[in-house]
Amino acid sequence: MPHEFVHKPVLLAEVLAALKPGTGGRYADGTVGGAGHAAVILGASSPTGWLSGCDRDGVAVEAAQARLAEFAGRFEIRRGNFSELSEWVPAESCDGVLLDLGVSSPQLDLAERGFSFQQDGPLDMRMDKRQMLSATEMVNGESAEELARIFWTYGGEQDSRRMARAIVHDREGRRFTTTRQLAELIERISPRHGKKSHPATKVFQALRIAVNDEIGSLERGLVGALKILKPGGRLAVITFHSLEDRVVKEFGRARSRDYTFAGGVDVPELREPRTPELKWVSRKAMTPGAAELAGNPRSRSAQLRVMEKI
Ligand SMILES: C[S@@+](CC[C@H](N)C(=O)[O-])C[C@H]1O[C@@H](n2cnc3c(N)ncnc32)[C@H](O)[C@@H]1O
């Protein structure tokens, strides 16, 4: 139900300071979610500011439409991947673009979405329910080698091979269909022993990233975001883990340089001159302050980086 969609927007003051929404400005929000950030951007750009928003999650799109009703006529929200924003938002039209990555609180909290190892639900993890591939297909269908690669690459799971082999062994007897089943297998292999985080944290994160092709979407989304920004427009990206943050940092670093490598290594003679496309507004990541952390523990891993198109 749209009215039950509760998600606290993170680093809100910092996003506003970065994008500086003002009257008549045009903005894009690629992860509109419950429209917490979007509502504040539209409010600050009243009475004529415009927002193009999207989300892969149909429930989020409905919630955002309802939340933004007071700004009717000043926004368009579509269901889709932010990697496709530049296919419908005109080139060089935006003063600011926001990507607030990862999952929303309702996605995590609703057992039926299958993201959580703390509650039992179907092993799903699709942000977009129209997608065919879910965590069930992946866990029951991929080879042990591929599962281990996913757990290691996207989760940094040290026991990736052992866990992958155990999954392949167990699924011969019974398919994995629930989050509980998978979490129990991981607990068996890697018991808690007073560890701070649950032993299934990394595998669940890795599967989520793989099922939703989060890294590929981000790489394409950053390129598209740069296309739709006006010169002088700003791109604000909030990440929640180091893999995402690395992609953002590398994108900013590569596109703010006045040269590119002709070879794989940085040898001055192999540098080819080019025009930088953006500059950093804050190269150092901004993180939530004590007050935000106290009010919203889920903000703890959030990092905001901001770039400006040249
Ligand atoms: C952290 S929440 C955003 C919350 C939002 N800023 C707010 O204030 O309510 C992340 C949202 O991004 C969506 N999402 C993640 N990856 C996406 C992608 N590649 N394309 C579109 N939406 C995506 C998720 O479905 C989720 O609703």
Give the model confidence (pLDDT) of 197-234 as tens digits: 889 999 999 999 999 999 999 999 999 999 999 999 99
Tokens representing 99?
Answer: 């990507």
Q: Model confidence over 49-82: pLDDT tens digits?
A: 999 999 999 999 999 999 999 999 999 999 999 9
- Give the whole-angstrom CA distance, residue 12 versus residue 292: 10
| Pocket perturbation via mutation, ligand 1, pick of 19, 27, 31 by most ligand atoms within 8 A of CB | 31
Per-residue confidence (pLDDT) for residue 89, from 0 to 100 = 98
List pocket residues of ligand 1, CB cut-off 6 Å: 7, 9, 30-31, 33-37, 54-57, 60, 81-83, 100, 102-104, 127, 217
The contacts of residue 84 (CB under 8 Å, 6+ apart) are 54, 224
Q: Model confidence over 117-168: pLDDT tens digits?
A: 999 999 999 999 999 999 999 999 999 999 999 999 999 999 999 999 999 9
Q: What's the gap in Å between 216 CA and the centre of ligand 1? A: 15
Q: What's the gap in Å between 152 CA and the centre of ligand 1? A: 24
Per-residue confidence (pLDDT) for residue 264, from 0 to 100 = 74
**From start to end of 176-261, where are the E strands?**
229-239, 259-261
Q: Are 90 and 64 in contact (CB under 8 A)?
A: no
Looking up tokens 């749209």 gives 2
Q: If you average pLDDT over residues 255-282, what whole number do you get?
A: 87
Length of the chain: 310
Exposed / middle / buried, residue 156 (Cβ in 10 Å: 0-12, 13-18, 19+)? middle
- Give the whole-angstrom CA distance, residue 114 versus residue 110: 8
Q: What's the gap in Å between 302 CA and the centre of ligand 1? A: 14
Q: If you average pLDDT over residues 253-281, what whole number do you get?
A: 88
Q: Are 136 and 67 in contact (CB under 8 A)?
A: no
Three-state DSSP class for residue 73: coil
Q: What is the mean pLDDT of the chain?
A: 94
Q: What angle do CA 116, 119, 121 make, to 5 degrees?
A: 80
pTM for this entry: 0.95
Q: Under the phi-then-psi rule, with left for phi > 0, alpha for psi from -120 to 50, and beta for the rest, what region is 128?
A: beta
